[in-house]
Amino acid sequence: MHIPRITSIVLLVAFLSLAIWLALVVAAPYMVAPNTLTDLSGRVGGHENEAKFKDLGALPHAIYWIGDAECHQIHNRSYSLNGNQLPFCSRDVGLFAGVALGFGVAAFFRWKIPPLFVLLGLVPIGLDGGIQALTSYESNNALRLATGLIAGLVLSLLLAHIVFVSQDDRSKGKTAESGTNNRN
């Protein structure tokens, strides 16, 4: 199926932006001296670790500051590289990767994503996170990463589908308007 050029460009830009963001998140622990940021456990919506970031360079400081605000950063739910914890938990890293992958695929291939496929793609993250929140079950980072990846992928494909449908509707509207104007 033909993909409108502007829509593909927008999706490609979204893919590249998210891929760069993911690369920065993964590279951030290497921008910091080894074993500097070993436990960032906190809560979403706070800045509990600001004191730990004060001596960081501008770029790692910004990345870790965003992570501190947007992620719980629980140590045992996060990966570490270079002796430093990543600025986001493993599930968030999976979500970033899945969304980037989905937009990358959607920039070149278009298909209608069935609602059942979206729901099935969200079941793993819902079960893993939900059961963990309600019971003593503790997931592992590989499973968190995988469920985030799947959820990010199906959500980005759904969003891309919505963009394509919106683009089609606008194109049909313009075609209908030009047909009406030609008759007058």
- As averages over each run of 10 residues, the pLDDT of the chain (184 residues) reads 71 95 98 96 90 94 96 95 97 97 91 88 95 94 98 94 78 59 51
What is the distance between the alpha carbons of residues 99 and 88, in angstroms, rounded to a whole number? 15
What is the distance between the alpha carbons of residues 91 and 75, in angstroms, rounded to a whole number? 12
Nearest CA among 31, 30, 51 for reference residue 40: 51
- pLDDT at position 7 is 81
pTM for this model (two decimals): 0.86
Helix axes 5-27, 90-106, angle to 10 degrees: 150
